[in-house]
Structure 1
Amino acid sequence: MENIMKKGWLLIVFMVLLWITGIATAANGEKKESVLGPGDTLKIFVFGQPDMTTEVKVSEAGNITFPLLGEIFVDGLTPSETERKIVKLLESKDILRKPQVNIITASLQSQMVSVLGYVRNQGRYPIEGKRRLTEILAMAGGIIPDGAEQITLIRSNGSKYVKDVIDVLEMIRSGDLNRDLNIRSDDLVYVERAPRFYIYGEVQRAGVYKLERNMTVMQALSVGGGLTQRGTERGLRIQRRGVGGNLQILTVKSSDLVEPDDVIYIKESLF
């Protein structure tokens, strides 16, 4: 129970840290622009030129079509860089002198990250500026109680996909936010189901429960409500799958650690 209380406090600290980080970022104006790509929709305004105001979509080739200029390659540019590029083209072609161009991104379909698994709201989320893993998890509503503390991040590394496992709880415990990685477009963030254990026999509440880190057999019994009047701690047995998948039946002590998918059986006292 002490470990569970510590974990609860760590999660509270984690959420406060996210809140402070968000405030600091907003105060310092550190939000960075996302680059444009195919599928993004832009609204382009030219001051004093309503005929040039238009809404365009970036093509698969990375181009947009703009009045009097035709196709303009914008893939990989930020909205601000695209504004400057249009200004230079309008001036170089003697179409306008000192034009004022403003671009609003109506949607950023090219800069998306997928969040799946045991989060509150699975889905695809836009990456506007620099986003870290914890921010993406917060956008998805956070990890639900059945979710694991380890997050799997899958991303393309050129010719192949690379998997990285981040232990969020350990990151918070150690204060090492170097593992709070920057998320890139097309990354996949997956939260697995938390490890579980099973308990049956002479306990108050037989069933399946979430396995906390470093949980002992005694702690597992307390989660199950403790022994019934007929139960005994003598001869505690655990059914466990070995490395090769073979089922083993082990006699354990109350201080032994429980492993994922263990089945704890509480015998009936003969006396």
Structure 2
Amino acid sequence: MITRRRCLALLPVSLILGKAFGAAGQTPVPEVGIGEYRLGPGDKVRVHVFNEPDLSGDFDIDGTGQLALPLIGTIQAGGLRLMELEALITKALAGGYLKNPRVTAVILTYRPFYIYGEVRLPGGYAYVNGMRMVNAVVLAGGYTPRARQGRLLVTRLVNGQKTELEATDDTPVLPGDIIRVPERFF
């Protein structure tokens, strides 16, 4: 018969072994800052060309990653960082249109993230800077009674490849993430 004292003595060992063997096949979610964020379809940016109000404005990145701008036409913005977009627009405007153009760009709205599985209100939700997985679950109405709480799967772009990674409630959400809340077995 196992006594309470023996159970308490074996608990740390079982936790260590569980972590050691359970983590072998899991890939942790890399911490990616929003400063390294790459633009994509669904993002809305504000481009400001100094002293050129006709060239400035708010623009949407379309489903193919293209950004349509006055005078220079469409450019491929998908996959670029904000600073790279500014440099690309500056170079395009300097190529025969303006002398020494000064361009700034800011993201007005990020593309949404999606959550499905064992949550009450699955769907797409607006991204908010600093959001964690637990916030995403709360926005989706919370866990269903069959949810495997605290263990989430997130599909996101990592080095240009879609990758499914295991996440916890404290993992940051990024724009474009697809979060799956799995079902528990017991």
Q: Which of 98, 101, 104 in structure 2 is aligned with 1:102? A: 104
Deviations 1:141-199 (A, max 9, x none): 285584533424153799998575x676xxxxxxxx8xx5876734223154x67xxxx
Q: Which has the larger radius of gyration?
A: 1
Selected match of 2:138 from 138, 141, 146: 141
Change (3 A) 1:115 1:69: same
Q: Return the alpha-carbon distance in structure 2 between the equivalents of residues 160 and 40 of structure 1.
A: 18
Unaligned runs of at least 5 residues, structure 2? 1-32
Q: Which moved more, 1:122-131 or 1:146-155?
A: 122-131
* Partner Cα separation in structure 2 for residue 161 and residue 190 of structure 1: 16
- Match for 1:52 among 52, 55, 60? 55
* Equivalent residue number for residue 124 of structure 2: 124
Q: TM-score, normalised by structure 1?
A: 0.43
Question: Structure 1 pair 160/78, CA: closer, same or farther in 2 (3 Å)?
Answer: closer
Q: 1:187 to 1:118 in 2, by over 3 A?
A: closer
Supply the distance in 1 between the matched residues of 2:71 and 2:77 (Cα, whole angstroms).
Answer: 16
Aligned length: 149
Q: For residues 105 and 167 of structure 1, what CA distance do their matches in structure 2 show?
A: 27
Check if 1:69 corresponds to 2:66: no
CA drift of 1:112 comes to 2.5
CA distance in 1, matches of 2:79, 2:46: 17
What is the CA deviation profile of residues 112-149 of structure 1, one whole-angstrom value per residue up to 9, with x for unaligned ones? Answer: 33255336x64424557787xxx122244285584533
Q: Is this contact kept in 1: 2:118–2:144, CA < 8 A?
A: no
Secondary structure of the residue that 2:86 maps to in structure 1?
helix
TM-score for both structures, normalised by structure 2: 0.58
Give yes or no for contact 2:41–2:78 (8 Å, CA) kept in 1: yes
Q: Match of 1:55, as an amino acid?
A: D
Query: CA 1:107–1:95 in structure 2 vs 1: closer, same or farther (change >3 Å)?
Result: same
Tell me the secondary structure at the aligned position of residue 32 of structure 1: helix
Q: Residue 163 and residue 139 in structure 1: after superposition, are their counterparts in 2 closer, same or farther (change >3 A)?
A: closer
Aligned counterparts of 1:163 and 1:48: Cα–Cα separation in 2: 46
Q: Report the secondary structure of 1:88's partner residue.
A: helix
Q: Which amino acid aligns with 2:135?
A: A
CA deviations over 1:198-241 (Å, ceiling 9, x no partner): xxxxxxxxxxxxxxxxxxxxxxxxxxxxxxxxxxxxxxxxxxxx
Q: Quote the Cα distance in structure 2 between the aligned partners of 1:56 and 1:184.
A: 18
Q: CA RMSD for the aligned pairs?
A: 3.8
Q: Does 1:189 align with 2:186?
A: no
For residue 45 of structure 1, give the secondary structure of its aligned residue in structure 2: strand
List per-residue Cα deviations over 1:76-98 (Å, max 9, x = no partner). 0122211111112212x132233
Is the Cα–Cα contact under 8 Å of residues 119 and 137 in structure 2 kept in the other structure? no
In structure 2, C-alpha distance between the alignment counterparts of 1:154 and 1:40, rounded to whole Å = 20
Secondary structure of the corresponding residue to residue 151 of structure 2: strand
For 2:35, the equivalent position in structure 1 comes to: 32
Distance 1:100 1:136, change over 3 A: farther
- Rounded to whole Å, the distance in 1 between the matches of 2:50 and 2:181 is 45
The answer on whether the counterparts of 1:40 and 1:108 sit within 8 Å (CA) in structure 2 is yes
Cα distance change on mapping 1:154 and 1:42 into 2, 3 Å: closer
